[in-house]
């Protein structure tokens, strides 16, 4: 890892200098406003280049970079690498994060701040307002029991609390009680709920709800090993102008979790939501899945309570959580 600081009058000029000096693969780790010795305002930009590491390939083009072998950690070369490894972060990602964070820590940042900066570069965190555009429906997809319906209810109630109008649709007519679960929330919110089976019914429901600011579409859980179920959902959603969030349980084993963004790629998820953060002490799976898929992350859920157990995930909160070694209450002495 080569780390260098640059002074530039503007960010545009700074980026030009960084690229000229460190090449196209340089990453900006931090920038802050400073005064130069002659009293002028300037930007101090900290940039880094790791000659050994090529950028991670996009998930659509490459096989998943996380193999069982990548989970076997050689002797960790630092405390941070050891900590990340204990969370189940795969070895290549672990080394990449640890090296970048340590280089920053060497320049005076705390390890937690350095980790936050590096995570901020490697994972695309988005603010909630950017995850859902007004009048553009949000479809929640994911494996069975991931927490789609519960998360959808949390998001809808959150929007309603902020004074927005909402609309609710479910395509989950597969599981017994699937539609009934959302109907309970719809009744509590005094909203109609549309249960739809065909593309025509879905379009009709979306048209009926076109004046609502935030429309949420729940779907049946999909086992991606059953290709026909994936194809059926793709057909149902075909042509629908919407954003799609893939809900992934954070407590799945990390190798399985890593395969899911690719398994669901045909449904074109635009963002990841991690559920059940409260049911695991290991955060490696979510780091691996977010880094490997290149999909932005916004929300996580950490409990069954609706609507309370919803949190915004960002580099700071994730870094804070990662800095604590995984703990299991049942292993702690009384
Ligand atoms: N502990 C925990 N349980 C959750 C969370 N989100 C959902 N659940 C529970 O997981 C189960 C499945 O949730 P559901 O929303 O029906 O999943 P779906 O099949 O994807 O729609 C229910 O018992 C939920 O209460 C979470 O963040 N933490
Ligand atoms: Mg459901």
Q: What is the tens place of the pLDDT at every residue in 208-219? A: 999 999 999 999
Of 51-60, 282-291, 300-309, the one with minimum mean pLDDT is: 51-60
Query: Do 44 and 132 sit in the same domain of this protein?
Result: no
Rama region for 163: left / alpha / beta (φ>0; ψ in -120 to 50; rest):
left
Mean pLDDT, residues 35-57 taken together: 69
**Does residue 157 have a pLDDT over 50?**
yes
Ligand 1 atom 25: the closest Cα is on which residue? 304
3-class DSSP assignment, residue 105: helix
Which residue carries 């659509």 as its tokens?
A: 60
CA atoms within 13 A on the CB side of 102: 16
Greater pLDDT, 6 or 67: 6
Tokens of 49: 């280049």
% of the chain beyond a pLDDT of 90: 70
pLDDT in tens, 111-122: 999 999 999 999
Instruction: State mean pLDDT over 45-50.
Output: 77
Q: What's the mean pLDDT in 80-104?
A: 94
Q: Whose CA is nearest to atom 17 of ligand 1?
A: 147
Contact yes or no for 229/127 (Cβ under 8 A) = no
Residue 40 maps to a domain: yes
pTM (2 decimals)? 0.82
Instruction: Count the domains in the chain.
Output: 2
73 phi, psi to nearest 5 deg: -95, 125
**Helix, strand or coil for residue 52?**
coil
Whether the per-residue pLDDT at 17 is higher than 50: the answer is yes
| 258 vs 62, more confident | 258
Select the more confidently predicted residue: 59 or 327.
Answer: 327
Give the domain range for residue 177: 128-327
In the structure, which protein residues have their CB atom closer than 6 angstroms to any atom of ligand 1? 142, 144-150, 181, 221, 275-276, 278-279, 301-304, 309
Where does a domain end: 12, 30, 52? 52
Q: Which of 142, 249, 304, 312 to mutate to test ligand 1, by most ligand atoms within 8 A of the CB atom?
A: 304
Query: Is residue 274 in a domain?
Result: yes
Residue count of the chain, please give it.
Answer: 334
pLDDT recorded at residue 70: 65
Structure tokens at 252: 């799945």
DSSP, collapsed to helix, strand or coil, labels residue 32 as strand
């Amino acid at each position: 890892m080569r780390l260098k600081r640059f002074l530039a009058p503007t960010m545009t000029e700074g980026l030009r200098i960084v690229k000229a000096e460190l090449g196209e693969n340089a990453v900006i780790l931090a920038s802050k406003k400073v005064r130069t010795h002659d009293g002028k305002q300037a930007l101090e930009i900290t940039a880094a280049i790791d000659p050994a590491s090529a950028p991670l390939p996009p998930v659509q083009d490459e096989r998943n970079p996380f193999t069982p072998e990548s989970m076997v950690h050689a002797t960790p070369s630092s405390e941070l690498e050891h900590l990340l490894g204990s969370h189940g972060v795969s070895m290549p990602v672990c080394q990449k994060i640890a090296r970048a964070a340590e280089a920053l820590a060497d320049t005076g940042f705390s390890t937690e701040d350095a980790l936050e900066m590096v995570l901020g570069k490697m994972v695309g965190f988005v603010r909630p307002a950017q995850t859902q555009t007004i009048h553009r429906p949000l479809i929640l997809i994911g494996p069975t029991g991931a927490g789609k319906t519960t998360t959808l209810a949390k998001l809808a109630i959150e929007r309603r609390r902020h004074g927005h109008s909402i609309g609710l649709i479910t395509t989950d007519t597969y599981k017994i009680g699937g539609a009934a679960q959302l109907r309970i929330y719809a009744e509590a919110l005094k909203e109609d709920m549309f249960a739809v089976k065909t593309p025509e019914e879905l379009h009709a429901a979306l048209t009926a709800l076109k004046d609502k600011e935030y429309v949420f579409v729940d779907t049946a859980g999909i086992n991606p090993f059953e290709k026909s179920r994936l194809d059926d959902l793709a057909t149902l959603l075909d042509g629908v102008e919407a954003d799609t969030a893939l809900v992934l349980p954070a407590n799945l084993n990390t190798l399985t979790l890593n395969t899911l963004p690719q398994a669901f790629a045909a449904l074109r998820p635009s963002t990841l939501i991690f559920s059940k953060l409260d049911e695991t002490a290991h955060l490696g799976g979510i780091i691996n899945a977010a880094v490997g898929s290149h999909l932005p992350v916004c929300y996580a859920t950490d409990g069954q309570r609706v609507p309370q157990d919803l949190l915004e995930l960002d580099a700071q909160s994730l870094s804070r959580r990662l800095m604590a070694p995984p703990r299991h209450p049942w292993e702690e002495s009384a």
